[in-house]
Amino acid sequence: MFRAIALVSLIVVGCSDNNDATTIAHTFLATTNPDTRPSDLRPKDGVTFFPPSFSEPSVRCGFMGRRWNIINDVENDWYPSHLMAADEASLYAKALSARAAGDWTLRFTWLRSFHPSVVIRIDGDSNGAHLLAKELSGAGGYDAGGIVKSVSRRLTKDEKRTLGTELIRTKPFNLPPKVCDIGADGAQWIIEGVDDNGYHFVARWSPKRGGVHDLGMHLLHLTGWNFDEIY
């Protein structure tokens, strides 16, 4: 069952030329502790992308309190297939592995039904942050295709500072990881994070406002790409 267990602040430190330190608080909410409980989620090509607790009915929807899993069988195949096509690893697995203290990762996966999928990952530590964005050749609701466009660069100090401010403002991981908002045609907006307190996840279907929408739009802007269809 989903439990919000701890509100934490991840401090990203950037040093200026005169060695003055500027600290930016990134507020993450840990959505799960690493655990080894049995899961209904099948590994994708041997890789586990989501915590076992995400396979438990915990999201109340519909008449008489019907409950949904945070990740259902369709999503457990759909999301990883596009992530692997983008040559992206499991962030949940990364959360279980040994990492340097203070390292963090933020990833936005944008799965539009009729347009190419986009995956944006930012990896950071006390020295700075690096952005890697990829666009696939397929459509988000169909076959993923392969990588057709990418950008890889370090964020400037101002960009890193602004990202920290946006994370504090939007607080995406304070939100329930899933709500009853699925539709037939649209886009799934998925934001994942890893920090010293574990793995974090939230997804929304075609959000028009709110923390997931605003942070997703901010990350899309950082790519420098133009998108004709945003939904």
Chain segment 105-158, per-residue pLDDT in tens: 999 999 999 999 999 999 999 899 999 999 999 999 999 999 999 999 999 999
Phi, psi of 124 (to 5 degrees): -140, 160
- Which of 36-45, 52-61, 82-91, 168-177 bottoms out in mean pLDDT, i.e. has the lowest? 36-45
% of residues, the chain, pLDDT over 90: 67
Q: Kindly tell me if the per-residue pLDDT of 16 is higher than 70.
A: no
The confidence band for 3, taking pLDDT boundaries of 50, 70 and 90, is: very low
Least confident of 58-62, 96-100, 101-105, 200-204: 58-62
Q: How confident is the model at residue 217 (pLDDT cuts 50, 70, 90)?
A: very high
Which pair of tokens denotes residue 21?
């330190």
Instruction: Starting at the earlier edge strand, list the strands of the sheet with 128-136.
Output: 147-154, 128-136, 118-125, 104-112, 187-195, 198-205
Could you tell me the two tokens for 56? 């438990």
Q: Decide: 40 and 27 in contact? Cβ < 8 Å.
A: no
Q: Which amino acid would we find at residue 156?
A: T
> Which stretches of the chain are assigned E, i.e. beta strand?
6-15, 21-30, 57-61, 66-69, 104-112, 118-125, 128-136, 147-154, 187-195, 198-205
Q: What percent of the chain has pLDDT over 70?
A: 78
**pLDDT per position as a tens digit, 69-104:** 899 999 999 999 999 999 999 999 999 998 899 999
Q: What's the pLDDT score for residue 99?
A: 87
The values of phi and psi at residue 16, to 5°, are: -85, 180
Average pLDDT of the segment spanning 158-164: 97
- Fill in the amino acid letter for 57: P
Q: Between 51 and 11, name the one with better pLDDT.
A: 51
More confident residue, 34 or 166: 166
Average pLDDT, the chain: 83
* Cβ–Cβ under 8 Å, residues 125 and 103: yes
Q: Point out which residues pair with 203 in neighbouring strands.
A: 190
Q: Check residues 41 and 212 and name the one with the higher pLDDT.
A: 212
